[in-house]
Amino acid sequence: MSTRPESRPSSLAQRKRQLVSDELAEAALQLLAQKGFDAVTVDEIVTTAGVSKRTFFRYFASKEDVVVQFLADMGIGIRTGLAARPAGERPSVALRHAVSVPLAACGADHSDRALRVVQLILRTPALHARFLERQAQWREDLATELAARQGLDTGGDLYPQLAAGTALTAFNTVLQRWSESDGTDDALELIDRAFEVVAPALDTTP
């Protein structure tokens, strides 16, 4: 279960490192989601992944760092999704597609595991705090991308920051609802409904 955008490492060694990193992250996230953040040790993670503790610490500083990387990948997916949208597309449409990227990745495969990881993040205070911390950077990245698309100045115009914040508020609301429903609600349908509410504000550009 990964939200990481597709990439093509330039060498066999890089591809191997990426594969090991992905396998470690998958093993860690599964255990954390199943047993809870505080109940899982690095020893359990490396045993499950079939690697040494030294190998784990070559890729991650701590078990929290695995979740932080998951969040970083979500943010990269959102910004990449926005950058890929056609020029001239309504901001509400472009942003809806962008924030749908990690939601679609979560639902495409191993959706139950994805749900458990999201619930882990939202229900663990330390991880939720890191989630909100990461979103501050997501907001800056989205605002920069929006400003470029609209020909606006990120320093002088209010719209890019407000629009980015609105889109992420919709994203957070959907994640919370999806988590609380234990996956019975469809996340992509929820994001469509959320953007129906905020679209008029997003499309009122300067």
CATH for 28: 1.10.10.60
Q: Does residue 2 sit within a domain?
A: no
In terms of domains, do 95 and 146 share one?
yes
What pLDDT is recorded for position 102? 87
Quote the pLDDT of residue 109.
Answer: 54
Task: Give the whole-angstrom CA distance, residue 144 versus residue 160.
Answer: 7
Q: Tell whether 4 is covered by a domain.
A: no
Query: Which of 24, 42, 60 is the last residue before a domain boundary?
Result: 60
Q: pLDDT value at position 22?
A: 85
Query: What angle, rounded to 10 degrees, do the helices at 63-83 and 42-49 form?
Result: 70
What pLDDT was estimated at residue 110?
54
**Strand, helix or coil for residue 119:** helix
C-beta separation of 160 from 154 below 8 A: yes
Comparing CA positions, the residue from 149, 171, 169, 170 lying closest to residue 160 is 149
Residues in the chain: 206
Confidence of residue 26 (pLDDT cuts 50, 70, 90): confident
Q: Are residues 196 and 106 in the same domain?
A: yes
pLDDT of residue 204 exceeding 70, the answer is yes
Share of the chain above pLDDT 90, in %: 55
Domain match, 111 and 169 both: yes
pLDDT tens per residue across span 135-170: 999 999 999 999 999 888 877 899 999 999 999 999
Q: Are residues 44 and 89 in the same domain?
A: no
Q: Are residues 47 and 146 in the same domain?
A: no
20 is a domain residue: yes
pLDDT at residue number 107: 62
pLDDT exceeds cutoff 80 at 111: no
**pLDDT of res. 113:** 78
Whether 135 and 187 map to the same domain: the answer is yes
Angle at 28 between CA 26 and CA 29, to 5 degrees: 65
CATH of the domain at 187: 1.10.357.10
Render pLDDT for 63-99 as a digit per residue (tens, 0 to 9): 999 998 888 888 999 999 999 999 889 999 999 999 9
Domain assignment of residue 49, yes or no: yes
- 42 and 68 both lie in a single domain: no
Which has the closest alpha carbon to 195: 117, 107, 94?
A: 94
Q: Which tens digit of pLDDT belongs to each residue from 172-182?
A: 999 999 999 99
Residue 1 lies in a domain: no
Q: Has residue 5 been placed in a domain?
A: no
pLDDT of residue 59: 92
The residue from 40, 60, 80 where one domain ends is 60
Do residues 189 and 87 share a domain?
A: yes
**Is residue 50 predicted with pLDDT exceeding 90?**
no
Domain with 114, as residue range(s), is: 64-202
Please give the pLDDT value at position 153.
Answer: 84
Compute φ and ψ for 102, nearest 5 degrees.
-70, -30
Look at the chain and report how many structural domains it folds into.
2
Sequence-separated (6 or more) residues with CB below 8 Å from residue 181: none
* Residue 66, helix vs strand vs coil: helix
The answer on pLDDT for 54 being more than 70 is: yes
Question: pLDDT band at residue 8, thresholds of 50, 70 and 90?
Answer: low
Task: Please check whether residues 48 and 137 belong to one and the same domain.
Answer: no
- Give the count of beta carbons closer than 10 Å to the beta carbon of residue 182: 11
Burial of residue 206, with CB atoms counted within 10 A of its CB: 0-12 exposed, 13-18 middle, 19 or more buried: exposed
Q: Domain check: are 43 and 81 in the same one? A: no
| 116-133 b/e (C-beta count within 10 Å ≥ 16 → b) | bbbbbbbebeebeebbee
Residue at 147 is within a domain: yes
Co-location of 34 and 77 in the same domain: no
Helices (H), 84-155: 91-108, 111-123, 125-150
- Residues 31 and 79 occupy one common structural domain: no
